[in-house]
Structure 1
């Protein structure tokens, strides 16, 4: 974990994978506690609001090329990691994921150790596409095989 700041492109790639995949496309429903206005729309008290995380993660207001996998979405001009406001893989608001900090650490350690120690290749006769997924409560990829080649 001490080396995390030394490999910003690695961290940006992990963040971009979370954004691009949008594993959980819709967030947990919330309820308006008072009459309010959101984005110019009147929202009466008691209205159920469901955050559309997929839409946020593919909104051209936040992402230069929203349908292209590009880790540079998370890097500034100096190569430092930045988190744009349209990024919320762990939910939005006060009720976001309580395990977010632990999940971020585990993702970093898990993925960094895999790519440090292995080259990942498609299995013979296999291809993998971001379009190959089942859309349901989660966006889950179809089963596929990859080969881990030790470095």
Structure 2
């Protein structure tokens, strides 16, 4: 199994301010790359793009699939309960993540939405937002 890591960038990806269709095209490209690689989440920065854009196809805690594109995602609330992301995504780096989070983002059309996420969806979103903000998880397991 091959694991790809993003090339570290000295700056964080920029906020998307234009919702003219180009961001939707980029989201479609990210979904295609993610699916062809058998992945479940991908940030635009992982392919060298400067946009704050993430695509995911992950289940929530109830097992309901959730495929979506999130533009300018940001954590707006975290809730108790930490889980090791490696327990949810075998092969990933051990890191503690919140089991439930709220994420505010824009849709591909520019509408602002807040999503309450739990389960693998919450863990995957935190990892992708970390990539966009060049932030390491707050805690690591050793």
Q: Which has the larger radius of gyration?
A: 1
TM-score normalised by length of structure 2: 0.26
**More strand by percentage:** 2
